[in-house]
Amino acid sequence: MRVDAFTGELGYSKLGYYAIRVPAIAEGYLVTHNAYDLQLYCFGKGPSATTVTTSPKVIPLGESVLVEGTVKDQSPGQTSSEFQPRALLP
């Protein structure tokens, strides 16, 4: 589950019964077994694209500046059907 630290809004949640008492954790990734759908899940930060803009473009010394930006998920599972979840039974 991911919760926004500023708003408290739920970002995502993965329902499951994670039966392994001690999941595998290495190099920033957590791997565990979900007993609900019998799948292995790996949780961790994936590739992303970040854009940042400032306004105004020219800022006098000591003045305020507005910094805005976006972060987009670039994980292969976002666009490739090869990595989409599949049902266990037809």
Residue among 45, 41, 43 at smallest CA distance from 85: 41
Task: Write down the pTM of the prediction.
Answer: 0.42
Q: Where are the chain's structural domains?
A: 2-78
pLDDT in tens, 13-64: 666 776 666 678 888 888 888 777 788 888 877 788 899 999 888 888 989 9
Q: How far apart are CA 87 and CA 78, in angstroms?
A: 18
